[in-house]
Amino acid sequence: MAINATSIRNIINLKDGSSEGDPVELSNEAIESAISRSETFVSDLAARSGSSGAVVELAKLNYAAYLAYQSYADRIVEELPGSFDQVGVFQPIGNPIAKQVMAKLESLKKTSDEVLDQIRNTPLNAGESETPMPEDIESYPETFKLSNLDDPW
């Protein structure tokens, strides 16, 4: 699954300005920065975990969406799409969608934290039921094998 600005916009439901009259609610640069930070953080966390690749990718996506929406929430000034006419009266282009920014930010954080906690709590060797035997066991010198020690303890 490729994480890109479009996939993040779809999660947080922010317009990219591609339709006439739609404002750019969050720049691609801000979203790319969130993706980059998410990739770095989650990859480092996953390196110390036994989580599956699918869970790691989901964590990257959720965390990037949270970080991007956090950037949006920090800069929001409720700019309504529209323009001023010749007399100076503001003419809105459409009815803006009211957003509960803080509630949505908390929800994105909770969703992200759930997957990050799963990665944190998955032991590194979670997929292995026992310690595997080394493939080159036959080539070990006899003096290093425990079965040849007089008193191993």
The alpha helices in the chain, defined as continuous H runs, are 5-12, 28-47, 53-75, 101-120
Structure tokens at 108: 């994105």
Distance CA(31)–CA(9), nearest Å, equals 8
**97 pLDDT more than 70:** no
Confidence of residue 5 (pLDDT cuts 50, 70, 90): very high
The crossing angle, in degrees rounded to 10, of helices 5-12 and 53-75 is 70
What are the CA-CA distances from residue 134 to residues 21, 125, 138, 139, 140 (Å)?
64, 16, 9, 10, 10
Q: What is the pLDDT of residue 80?
A: 63
CA gap 23, 45 in Å, rounded = 36
pTM of the model: 0.67
- Contact in structure between 48 and 124 (CB atoms under 8 Å): yes
* Domain ranges, ordered by start, for the chain: 5-128
